[in-house]
Structure 1
């Protein structure tokens, strides 16, 4: 690992709480941006700050070599809050990095939800993104802020992330009926181990100036995800309206040297790391 001091936002979230100990175990000097006292892995330094408060970010950025920006707001009906967290928070962070750590590398986690649902194939990083829902639209806007910042940046578009007993897979049983997900619909997925693997590549500079999709080696159906979580969905043989929605092309990451350590969700099940 080239970087020595890394600041993480969203370090206590679904992805951050699994990524942080892996980076710490790599020997990275990790700082976690937190708004209150929280339990963190051994060796991780908590720094008080809030993306809503730009002035609070300067001390957290002192002497950092990189920033991994994971903080985001997703499952809420408060669209204004989503935009404040995902767009305005990113703007505050980008401006603070430019002012206080301009040579730091910034790695931002985005989402495969930014791609258009009507895509005719798995989505590529160069495809246009015109989402209408607040969460993906705010992430596209945040991506643009970083890309135009003049900083050293990379953007990692994550799929459905699971593993390490995080409970995310178990949500499928309630998400499927809530959002009308067809049981035969397939989604790109990735294990937390491979989020960490791609972040390591980004911190080493491999993805500088690029948007990169993360996927494992095989998509999985909603039906299979529910079954792996111990649930059964209502059966359906109705045709899929948008069969490529939720699917990402992972070729670029592999061209850059990424190889998933957990190749499929079924391999994760066999290993007992769901």
Structure 2
């Protein structure tokens, strides 16, 4: 049985990924700072990515690490860099010292791609994001690539589903971030994020950065409407219709096929 450590296990993605991995037969450890309600068949291990001395017990004896922990819902840029870059650095150091043969799969973000795209973003595109969250994730990707470990990076799109509240947050986020109602973003349901992680754990993505997407981008206007939190449309020109789109060719070539093909399929099946 594969022993796996998951960071970010209580977050939006992690809390839905952890029970799926356990159901798939992985022996799952969850890195937690304190008491946390975890699903059956999983074990909490006390530790903090800010404190390297606490990570030895978490990583010893594991066959794989799935690194989801990240900070982004804050205006404190320093906190974002500490969590996303320094935390990843500490995790990599612990794995190298105490479990060097471990596969480390890290989640990143499709937001690393530049806003002046002329087509859906490819994994090989140059990236120079300005905002702290994508910039810190891009820097963390580079740390992992240079680590000498067996690694894979999953660049996630807008993740939704199972009542996680992410779609409903669009009504508030759109005006705050200046998002045009017609701007479309790549999306993926939690079920398919789990499928992508499972695929990465087979080794087929080793040494690769891979976009995760269902292939049917969704506008901000549609997201808000599907969440029951509609926003106003706009006839103002859209700055760049390609921004937010991810090319999903590579992950499909590696064997991925989304079980939730579109957000409208999720709405039909009652799994938004």
Q: Does TM, normalized by the shorter one, top 0.5? A: yes
SS at match of 2:5: strand
Corresponding residue of 2:219? 221
Shift of 1:244: 1.2
Could you tell me which runs of 5 or more consecutive residues in structure 1 were left unpaired when the two chains were aligned: none
For the aligned residues, what is the CA RMSD? Answer: 0.7
Q: Distance in 2 between matches of 1:46 and 1:96?
A: 18
Q: What pairs up with 1:170-249 in 2 under 5 angstroms? A: 170-249=168-247
Q: Distance in 2 between matches of 1:173 and 1:132?
A: 24
- 1:109 aligns to 2:107 (yes or no): yes
Q: What pairs up with 1:27-46 in 2 under 5 angstroms? A: 27-46=25-44
TM-score normalised by structure 2 residue count: 0.99
Tell me, yes or no, if the aligned pair for 2:61 and 2:99 is still in contact at 8 Å: yes
Q: Distance in 2 between matches of 1:82 and 1:102?
A: 27
SS at match of 1:252: helix
Q: What pairs up with 1:1-274 in 2 under 5 angstroms? A: 4-274=2-272
The number of equivalent residue pairs is: 272
Q: Distance in 1 between matches of 2:178 and 2:137?
A: 23
SS at match of 1:13: coil
Q: Distance in 2 between matches of 1:23 and 1:112?
A: 23
Shift of 1:247: 0.9
Tell me, yes or no, if the aligned pair for 2:2 and 2:26 is still in contact at 8 Å: yes
Could you tell me which runs of 5 or more consecutive residues in structure 2 were left unpaired when the two chains were aligned: none
Shift of 1:171: 0.3
Tell me, yes or no, if the aligned pair for 2:215 and 2:247 is still in contact at 8 Å: no
SS at match of 1:46: strand
Q: Distance in 1 between matches of 2:117 and 2:215?
A: 20
Q: Distance in 2 between matches of 1:202 and 1:123?
A: 20
Shift of 1:36: 0.2
Q: Which 4+ runs in 1 deviate beyond 6 A?
A: none
Cα-to-partner distance string for 1:58-92 (whole Å, 9 max, x where unaligned) = 01111100000000000111010000000000000
